[in-house]
Amino acid sequence: MRVAVLTDSTAYLPRELAAEYGVHVVPLYVVLAGRSGREGEDISSEDVAKALSSRGQRVSTSRPTPGDFVAAYRGALEAGADRLVSVHLSAELSGTWDAARVAASQVGEHIVSVVDSRSAAMGTGFAVLEAARAAAGGADRDEVDRIAREAAARTRTLFVVDTLEHLRRGGRIGSAAAVLGSALAVKPVLHVVDGRVVPLEKVRTSARALGRLVQHVVDHAGEREVSLAVHHLAAADRADRLVTELRERVPRLRELYVSELGAAIGAHVGPGALGVVISAGPDAPEEPAAVPEGDDDRTG
C-alpha cells in the first residue's frame, strides 16, 4: 500500500523538500490590489509584502474549496497512491482543515485521513515532513497519520512582528492597544498554543524582542536534538542573522530551514515579521494548552 501525503500552502515547506518526498501542496487563495490568485503560485511573498507596505492596501485570503481538495486527492490516487494523509493549518485559524474534511468524505474516509496540525507554518510543515518520510519508508496510512499528529504536537512556533497594526486589523488586539503599543514601541513575542495564536510576552524595541525570541528557542531546545525553521516576510537580512545566532547557540541542531511567509500568514503579521519553529525529538513532551487572549480571526 502506497501512502501519499498532502498539505496546504501555509505549511511553507521548502519546495525542494516537497518535491523530494512527493508532497502535494494545495494553495490557499489570495486577494490583493484588485486581483486574486493562488498563494505561492500566482501571488508571491514579494507581492504580499509590497501590498501590505502600501497605505490603504489590504490583503485577504480564503481557504481552498472542497473541490480543490477532491481534485488533489484524485490526482494523487491516479498517480499511484492507495491511501492519503492530508495535514493542514490549525482549524482554529482557518477553514482549510474543514474543506479538506468535506473533500475526504466525498473521496472516501477509508482512503483519506485529514489531520489538524493545531499549528501553523513549519509547525505544520515538520509534521508533513515526518509523515512523508514515514510514507516513503513504507508505513501504512494509520501509522503515517499517527506520526503526523505526534510530530505536530512536538513543535513550538514563536514569532515577533515589526508593527502591531496588522494584528489589529486581524482582530488580535484592539485599536487603542495598537496605538499605545506603537507609541511605546511595544513588540509582542507570540506563539501558537493549542492551535491558536496567543501572546507570550511584550518587550520594548525590536532588538529586545528578537533577543527574547532567540532565548526562548535556546531554552526550549535545551540539550535535546532539534530541527528548526526560520520564517520571515521581507526581512531576509534579519533572518540570516537569526540563523547565524541559532546555529551558534543551539547545541544539537539536526536541520535548519529558511522559508519566507506567504499571504495567508503574512497578512496577519506584516513585513518585518520573524518566526522560529522548533521540532523536538519523539521523547519531547507536548506543548501545554493555554487560554487564548482576545479575539482571533480565522485565516481563509
Burial class (CB in 10 A: 0-12, 13-18, 19+), 43: buried
pLDDT band at 149 (very low <50, low <70, confident <90, very high): very high
Mean pLDDT of 125-142: 97
Per DSSP bridges, beta strands 186-193 and 196-204 are: antiparallel
Edge-to-edge strand order for the sheet containing 29-32?
35-38, 29-32, 59-62
Return left, alpha or beta for 39; rule: phi > 0 is left, psi -120 to 50 is alpha, else beta: beta
Taking the C-alpha atoms of residue 5 and residue 13, their distance in angstroms, rounded to an integer, is 13
> Which grid cell is 52?
501590505
- Answer yes or no: is pLDDT of 141 > 50: yes
Express each pLDDT in 228-282 by its tens digit. Answer: 999 999 999 999 999 999 999 999 999 999 999 988 888 878 889 999 999 997 7
Express each pLDDT in 183-206 by its tens digit. Answer: 445 777 888 998 888 888 888 888
Taking the C-alpha atoms of residue 250 and residue 128, their distance in angstroms, rounded to an integer, is 23
pTM: 0.89
> Which grid cell is 138?
513504507
Q: What's residue 285's pLDDT?
A: 52
pLDDT band at 166 (very low <50, low <70, confident <90, very high): low
Q: How many helices (H) and strands (E) does the chain have?
A: 11, 13
- Answer yes or no: is pLDDT of 207 > 90: no
Taking the C-alpha atoms of residue 212 and residue 202, their distance in angstroms, rounded to an integer, is 10
Cα-Cα-Cα-Cα torsion 78, 125, 292, 223, nearest 10 degrees, comes to 150
- Residues 230/236, Cβ–Cβ less than 8 Å: no
Q: What's residue 290's pLDDT?
A: 43
